[in-house]
Structure 1
Amino acid sequence: MGILKQVLCTFMISTTCINFGLMFAWPSSTVKLFESTNTTLNRPMTETEVALFGSLSSCTALISTPISGFVVDYVGRKYTSVIFSLPQVIAWIVVAVSRRVELVLVAMSISGISGCLFNVTPVFISEICHEKIRGTMTACSIIFYGIGILLSYLIGGWLSYGGMIYTCLTCSITQVLLLSLVKESPTYLMKKGQDKEAARNIAFYRGTKPESKEVLEAMALIHKTLNPEMDDDAPENEKLQGDGKPREKLTLFQFIKKSKSTRQGLMVVTALYTFAIFQGLVVAQVYAEPLFREAMPNVSSNITSIAFAVVNTIVGFVAAYLTDLTGRRPLMIYSSFATGISCVALGTQIQLHWGPFWVTAVFLYAFCIFYTAGAGTVPYVVISELFLPEVRGVMTMAASEWAWICNFIILFIFNPLVEAIGLGCVFYLFGAICFASAVFSFIYMPETKELTVDVIQTLLVRKKQY
């Protein structure tokens, strides 16, 4: 019963990512319409406006992400999710009431504010789920984002312009209502000294009574991770305040300065996000239809992009299961290497045309499969596992902020880069980054499968992971 509640609440929380995927992938199905003379807007979009159309949501996420890092520790995981879900509702309302190019770009900017939920959602989910299903459930945030992209392709291909807008608006409103039904993270409540409410919420998520032994043990573990300096066997075998003096509250800067594992964890997740984004699948998602038109001109780009999203979603579910079956580290290493091979093969096919058009499709889908199995899933799982609760919100915010910077860069430069060196050469660059990702993961990435946060801290301070 407890596991079922955790799964159900995880799905309700992850609906935030479905709605962001709907808006994030919207340019794929509408960019051709918006830049044509038959546009539904007041005028065709210029080349610069098309570039902004696909990248502005990443840009405004840069603003909301650092804000959310502090809000999540001030008002809680639940209410932060609700607050930052509302911009999606506002964005679709703006699109529904106006056909001006400028306001459509404003709507994309507003929608990007919800991008910070990729920082909040994994933390929220990881704090309500048992260690045995934590990896799979945390991966739901990126899986549901993939579902949102799939729905965006489907709706964009089958419904009218107005029908798509009102469908997406309905989904956004529903998402806010679902979030109001979940309970707050017990870790956040204990951090605020609300132990009784924390016990009730743990009992809810575990399907037991507040006074049960299971709840007391869970609270003891949370209390330990919230106070790493109080035990002789503190995480990473170092006391954050081990000189025998009375305990005092460390500032964020003091905590980071004293905790080597926190600094190492930030380096690991920042690198993983960088490698993951610059492996290139994000541009394939946002510009799916134009990309498939260039790579496979003889096949309907709408059909191929929908199939691409279906494959991405299915593999996402498989990858989420594999994170708890095989572990995070081997999944990242081997999938990054396989993605690199797919990128190189795809680049040669696009550049040299050594095979029939269906070969291009095979390597594009292979690229999608291997990427989603590793770099498209693993970083979103480990970011919620590597940090102590004291700094988890701020550290995940910092890593997510860097990720949105990388997102904006790659989306903004992709089309000019293709024009400058060709699509085939761009995939060579993606391949090189994939191989670098595999090497980095082999050397520095710790395995976090089924481990508690205090044990993970000891792994982080090892010089090498092999």
Structure 2
Amino acid sequence: MAIDHNMETSENRLQKEIREPLIQYGEDEDRKSTNDSHWMVYLSTFVAVAGSFEFGTCVGFSSPVEAALRKDLNLSIAQYSVFGSIVTFGAMVGAITSGTIADFIGRKGAMRISAVFCIAGWFAVYFAEGATSLDIGRLSMGYGMGIFSYVVPIFIAEIAPKDLRGGLTTINQLMICSGVSFSFVVGTVVTWRTLALIGLIPCFTNLLGLLFIPESPRWLAKTGHKKEFQVALQKLRGMDADISQEEDEIQEYIDTLEKLPKAKLLDLFQRRYSRSVMIGVGLMVIQQFGGINGVVFYTSQILSSAGFSAKVGTICFAFLQVIITIFNALLMDKAGRRPLLLISTSGLVLSCLLIGMSFYLKVHELAPTVVSPLAVTGILAYIGFFSIGMGAVPWVMMSEVFPLNIKGAGGSLATLVNWIGAWTISFTFNFLIQWSSYGTFFLYAASNAISILFIVMFLPETKGRTLEQLQAAINA
């Protein structure tokens, strides 16, 4: 059906009029007020990313406990594959509902619901005596992870200054990596039931911290909570700051936003949104089909199969992941998104080839002394190159490329696609390894090579540009 040209022109004009009152500061603001604002933004970010850390502990749980858990509960490979991958199925459901929940009860309310589901999941795993309880627990944790994966970066983006937006949003990925690494390291020295109890700590940290931070002022203004909106904005900008001008700007922003048509999921497939959807969804596809969840979920198995100490390898894996992700956070707003992604995907191709070659040599009984060093080098290189770009950049760009009136629907779709990809990779990994250990990683190498073409041909650079500039360029 043809789109009315006047209506489309009017919508584009309204979008261009929108400003970013919550993510910029006037150059003449008092320095003390700015510092106060940053302090509350940092505290709010810390509380939010406790959910990201929880996300990471859930993802990392299955790798270090595989041998002990399978032995204690007498699980088959198929049963453990279901246990490892069902968390992503729960996350798909969480992703579908995350936008609606966050819009209906607020960003803090969505994080509370997510934490509660994760708590229930950890208790189910702790008390498990068979596969059913394990799967129910992982499914519950997955639902919470699906909500966390959407609401945490959205919440941070809504309170972060523009010059810190990339770095602060990257902290989300840093804490996910830290959670994965934490599970890897601690899981080598405690029982799997103890590790499940430890997983409760970030949940309770998030729930407690939410009592001390403000709700997103943008959400409060959008839902008509004027008094609460003023209080939240004052906390974020500092108690001595004059917020009157910014308050007016935010209200003007919301009034303009309300004039835009309400977007539904099917509206994303209109031609004028096609490039935003292609970028947001495409990034999630290339992130997952490069094999990350197969490598993370089954690191211990890969290293053991290659004849290397799983305990030593996972600890090295864990520390490298955190260090490189910190480096990535520092570079995000300096080097740019595209260069980091290109370096990352190029390194992933090489890493997968190294791992694949190690298994090829092992299967054909060639150069046995080279197999283990080659596998470990490939695994460590893989996580290092993934962390430098492909881990965080897709989530940062997802929060940047969608126009404001479709951000909720677009973000939910991109998150859903990400979790579908995660489930596909994590569920099929064991079966692919049984088919061909080296062939599996050669397939991942090919997928990452295709990702390079996607980045070169379709991705814009978003560093140092306002959201309005990006969306105008993308949807021109």
Which range, TM-score by smaller chain?
0.7 to 0.9
Which of 160, 176, 184 in structure 2 is aligned with 1:145?
A: 176
Moved more, 61-70 or 357-366: 357-366
Matching residue within 200, 203, 206 for 1:175 = 206
Counterpart secondary structure, 2:401 = coil
1:409-464 alpha-carbon deviations (Å, 9 max, x no partner) = 11111111111122x221211111212112211221122223222111122136xx
Task: Give the counterpart letter for 2:344 in structure 1.
Answer: S
Letter paired with 2:376: A
Q: Which residue of 2 aligns with 1:236?
A: none
**C-alpha separation in 2, matches of 1:441 and 1:220:** 37
Which sits farther off after the overlay, 217-226 or 321-330? Answer: 217-226
Determine helix, strand or coil for the equivalent of 1:77.
helix
1:10 CA displacement? 1.0
Alignment equivalent of 2:338, drawn from 313, 329, 333: 329
Q: Letter of the 1:80 partner, please give it.
A: A
Tell me by how many angstroms 1:83 deviates: 0.9
Residue identity in the other structure for 2:303: F
2:199 aligns to what SS in structure 1? helix
Question: For structure 2, which runs of at least 5 residues remain unmatched after alignment?
Answer: 1-34
How far does residue 174 in structure 1 lie from its aligned partner after superposition? 2.6
Question: Could you tell me which residue of structure 2 aligns to residue 369 of structure 1?
Answer: 384
Whichever residue aligns with residue 404 of structure 1, its letter is: W
What does residue 92 of structure 1 align with? 122
CA RMSD of aligned residues (A): 2.3
Give the number of aligned pairs.
Answer: 434
**CA distance in 1 between partners of 2:398 and 2:380 (Å):** 27
SS of the residue 2:138 aligns to: helix
Conserved in 1, the CA contact under 8 Å of 2:265 and 2:409? no
Judging changes above 3 Å, is the alpha-carbon distance between structure 1 residues 20 and 282 closer, same or farther for their aligned structure 2 residues?
same
SS in 1 for 2:214: coil
Structure 1, residues 287-341: CA drift from partner, whole Å, max 9, x if none?
111111113x1x3201211210111111111112211111112211222122212
- Indicate the residue corresponding to 1:237 in structure 2: none
1:7 maps to what in 2? 42
Partner of 1:393: 408
Residues of 2 paired with 1:404 and 1:80: CA distance?
A: 18
* Local SS of the residue matching 1:80: helix
Do structure 1's residue 275 and structure 2's residue 289 form an aligned pair? no
Verify the 8 A CA contact 1:57 1:109 in the aligned structure 2: yes
Classify 1:5/1:143 alpha carbon distance in 2 versus 1 (closer, same or farther; 3 Å).
Answer: same
Write the distance in 1 (CA, Å) between the matches of 2:110 and 2:405. 17
Instruction: Kindly indicate whether residue 141 of structure 2 is the aligned counterpart of residue 132 of structure 1.
Output: no
Is the contact made by 2:59 and 2:297 (CA closer than 8 Å) also made in structure 1?
yes
Residue 284 of structure 1 is matched in structure 2 by 295
Q: Which amino acid aligns with 1:252?
A: K
Which residue of structure 2 aligns with residue 411 of structure 1?
426
5 Å matches for 1:143-292? 143-207=174-238, 209=240, 211-212=242-243, 215-216=246-247, 219=250, 222-223=253-254, 226=257, 249-252=261-264, 256=268, 260=272, 262-292=273-303
Q: Give the match for residue 59 of structure 2.
A: 24
Q: Distance in 1 between matches of 2:398 and 2:353?
A: 29
**Contact 1:142–1:376 at 8 Å: present in 2 too?**
yes
The corresponding residue for 1:114 is 144
Matched letter for residue 431 of structure 1: A
What is the distance in 2 between the residues matched to 1:343 and 1:258? 37
* 1:278 aligned partner, one-letter code: F
- Equivalent pair of 2:265/2:410 in contact (CA under 8 Å): no
Note if contact 2:294-2:429 (Cα within 8 Å) is conserved in structure 1: yes
SS in structure 1 of the partner of residue 404 of structure 2: coil
| Cα distance, 1:371–1:161 mapped onto 2, change above 3 Å | closer
Cα distance in structure 1, aligned partners of 2:345 and 2:317: 19
Deviation readout 1:169-197 (Å, 9 max, x if unpaired): 23322322223322111221222233443
1:60 aligns with: 90
What residue is the counterpart of 1:231 in the other structure? none
More displaced stretch, 133-142 vs 156-165: 156-165
Cα pair 1:225 1:453 within 8 Å, conserved? no
Mean Cα deviation higher: 87-96 or 174-183: 174-183
Secondary structure at the counterpart of residue 451 of structure 1: coil
Change in CA separation of 1:220 and 1:439 when aligned onto 2, cut-off 3 Å: farther
Give the match for residue 310 of structure 2. Answer: 301
Note the alpha carbon deviations across 1:47-88, whole angstroms, 9 max, x for none. 211110100100111112111121111111111111111111
| Segment of structure 1 superposing worse, 4-13 or 92-101 | 92-101
Q: Which residue is 2:459 aligned to?
A: 445
SS at match of 1:303: helix
Corresponding residue of 1:344: 353
Which sections of structure 1, spanning at least 5 residues, go unmatched?
A: 228-246
Q: Are the structure 2 counterparts of residues 446 and 197 from structure 1 closer, same or farther at C-alpha, using a change threshold of 3 Å? A: farther
- Partner deviation per Cα, 1:231-269 (whole Å, 9 max, x = no partner): xxxxxxxxxxxxxxxx57545369647772x33212111
Compared CA separation, residues 342 and 315, structure 1 to 2 (3 A): same
Q: Does 1:51 align with 2:92?
A: no
TM-score by length of 2: 0.85
C-alpha spacing 1:199/1:442, structure 2 compared with 1 (3 Å): farther
Q: Which amino acid aligns with 1:420?
A: W
8 Å contact from structure 1 (residues 200, 209) kept in 2 = no
Q: Distance in 2 between matches of 1:20 and 1:291?
A: 23
Structure 1: distance between partners of 2:208 and 2:77: 38
Contact 2:397 2:462 in 1 (8 A): yes
- The 3 A distance-change label for structure 1 pair 365 and 97 is closer
| C-alpha deviation, 1:357, in angstroms | 2.8
Per-residue Cα deviation, 1:350-394 (whole angstroms, up to 9, x for no partner): 313653632332222111111111111100111111223332222
Q: Contact 1:126/1:385 (CA < 8 Å) preserved in 2?
A: no
Distance 1:421 1:275, change over 3 A: same
Q: Is the 8 A contact 2:118 2:141 kept in 1?
A: yes
Shift of 1:223: 3.8
Offset of 1:161 from its aligned partner?
3.7
Separation in 2 of the partners of 1:155 and 1:365?
A: 19
| C-alpha contact 2:58 2:141 (8 A) present in aligned 1 | yes
Please identify, of 197-206 and 361-370, the stretch whose mean Cα deviation from structure 2 is larger: 197-206
Question: Which residue, out of 397, 400, 418, partners 1:382?
Answer: 397
Native 8 Å contact 1:336 1:438 kept in 2: yes
